[in-house]
A and B are shown apart, each in its own frame.
Chain A
Amino acid sequence: MRNTLYTLLAMAALAAPLSAKGGSELKGKFYFIKNCKTCHVEGKSGGVVTPLIKTQAQWKAYFKADKHAKGKEKLGAHTKLTPAQMEDVMTFLVAHASDSPQPMTCGG
């Protein structure tokens, strides 16, 4: 029974990142605005962050490294975002990175 439970948990752990791949760009935009942009705007502690500050590869590497605030904490540590929602955020940032097909949108 215990082995079965461990097996199921291991499968779930493996499945989680797989299912998160190809997250929602639109949802990611929402989570990015509501969470990241509370600090990462002009005049606030985090400094300005937009999708344009990194290339697609840089954003993917950033999320893979999973470090925030110059390595002091894990990415999203002070948000309530789930792993799936973090995947949405990454999808949005990658989709509008500086080397993406749509680096800018009307109205910012």
Chain B
Amino acid sequence: MPHPPRNPSPPRLRRSLQALLGLLALSCFSVQAQQASSPAPVGHGSYIGVHAQQDSMQTADHSKFKILQGPFKDGDGPAVTKACLTCHTEAAKQVMATQHWQWRVPQKGLESYGKATDLVNNFCISIRGGNTATCARCHAGYGFQDKTFDFSNPDNVDCLVCHDTTGDYEKEAAGWPNPAVPLADIAQKVGRPTLKNCGACHFFGGGADATKHGDLDDTILNAPRTEDVHMSKQGAGMTCVDCHVSSAHQVGGPDYVIPANKREQPKYPGESISRMSCTACHTDHPHKSYILNRHYQKVACQTCHIPEFARDKRGTNLWWDWSTAGKLKNGRPYTVEGKDGFETYNSMHGDMIWARDVVPTYVWYDGNMKFTRLTDTITPPKDPNGSIMLNPVEGSYTDPNAKIWPFKFHEGKQPYDTVLNKLIAPYTAGPAGSGAFWGDWKWDPAIKQGMETAGLPYSGHYGFVRTTMIWPITHMVAPKEQALSCTACHTQKGRLAKVPGFYLLGRDRGTGLDFIGIGVILLTLVGVAVHGILRFIHGRH
């Protein structure tokens, strides 16, 4: 049986048109080919290896240790620590080498970073002005009253703040336990840190819940999956330390900056103590789509997977104006609540703005930040709307280590020395008659006393300057159904509209690439039209 002729030789025009269409399709085919050759994604569930149940990780019943049965005197935390150290002989030394104890992070060739240094922020400003005891409620130790604190005494290490599993542990000024805390009961029930242990301080950064971090607050303890797929009990039910894996009590995570030689992504949780990464569980190619996986080279996972931060009822602080603080009604401090239920004024802090479901600001970021110190000379902006960036980030499109990251921008006004042009550490947390701002409501004595305590010069003249801080957003990862769609960024007024330094498909116009693309489309249309006309002329159907 004769076969019908296959692939009869097409006319020249048809061959040319096919070649053109072939060129047009080439990019698509090549993408599909590469996609087919990509390794299969292996994320989603690989965390199970590290996310073991609390109970299965306990190898000792601490209630059986006589030394932990007490009784301990009210608030005698050091006595509990001494008991812990009888078995855990190296634990205190390890803790004392960490930032949780020292509140300072050594930097090669630079002054240390940390709360105990001259670093300044635009929330509570600084502990250096005499506020140490109040702030030390979040110090992993006992008795951090002022700069005379003995950082070499292991008995003052607070084991319970991280290892209490009852939820009953409370710390007070200078880090001492509340005298009503049932120390013996807690000591007999210690375990691996839970969300609540870490959250006792890290949810409350900036002085209150949800203030500093837009992606961390105590709603995480009972979060629905839509708020945080990892920490929600409806989601993976993970704890902080499942990702922030420790080594010798050094809790994993970047300390202010990520060392340049450790920027590679960890392959599993705990491989790097200085850097956490989504890839440790999800790999660097977790999507089925090759194109989505390629985004990883220049876009942080968080950029698409945390579409908004503060996705809960709390709301996070975006504006803190110290210059309006201290107003009194009938001689007494007061608060004002806005229509949305958030505080818009507080005599302690001044005017404030809070918001929830906040769209992040996107910035090139390579892991490095610079920080401003009380000793740095600042240049107050002449523009009344101008602001001083306290912690500028580093990174650009051309930086191979940089990616587009989501950030929370926090703005406010804070006091500075108008003669010396330096930021100020006021004495804020103290009772009436102490000179503290929250006790006597006067800036002049609070600043004088604060700078004297900090051992820093003060001209006697102060004003307020607008400042900005930038905070990376990395928690509150949303379910994948809520991840950003392509058009959230690939459009002219999209989320990346102001991110500079590169050509973004769908956003940028008027380049040679656009000219070529439009030219190819026009040529195609012309080819189709000519082909149609020729067929019509020759009467072929």
Contact = CB atoms under 8 A, between A and B. Distances in A.
A103 B332 contact: yes
A26 B333 contact: no
Nearest to B169: A30
B209 A103 contact: no
Interface of B: 74, 124, 134, 137, 168, 170, 172, 178-181, 204, 207-209, 332-333, 335, 346, 348, 428-429, 431-432, 438-439
Contacts of B168: 34
A27 to B, nearest CB: 4
Nearest to B134: A106
Contacts of A104: 333, 335, 346, 348, 438
Nearest to A88: B180
B180 A27 contact: yes
13 contacts: A26-B178, A27-B180, A29-B170, A30-B170, A30-B181, A33-B170, A101-B432, A102-B432, A104-B333, A104-B335, A106-B124, A106-B428, A107-B207
A24 B178 CA distance: 10
A101 B178 contact: no
A99 interface: yes
Given A33-B170, A106-B207, A24 B431 contact: no
Contact of A102 (B124, B209, B431): B431
Contacts, number: 50
B427 to A, nearest CB: 13
Interface of A: 24, 26-27, 29-31, 33-34, 85, 88, 98-99, 101-104, 106-108
Contacts of A102: 431-432, 439
A30 B348 contact: no
Which 10 pairs show the lowest CB-CB distances between chains A and B? A30-B180, A27-B180, A30-B178, A107-B207, A106-B207, A101-B432, A107-B208, A108-B208, A27-B179, A106-B429
B431 A101 contact: yes
B432 A24 contact: no
A85 B170 CA distance: 17
A99 to B, nearest CB: 7
A103 B347 CA distance: 11
Given A26-B179, A85-B180, A106-B124, 10 more contacts: A27-B179, A30-B180, A34-B168, A102-B431, A104-B346, A106-B207, A106-B208, A106-B428, A106-B429, A108-B208
Contacts of A98: 332
Contacts of B207: 106-107
B32 to A, nearest CB: 51
Contacts of A30: 170, 178-181
Contacts of A101: 431-432
Contacts of B178: 26-27, 29-30
B179 A103 contact: no
A53 B295 CA distance: 52
B315 to A, nearest CB: 13
Contact of A106 (B74, B180, B348): B348
A58 to B, nearest CB: 15
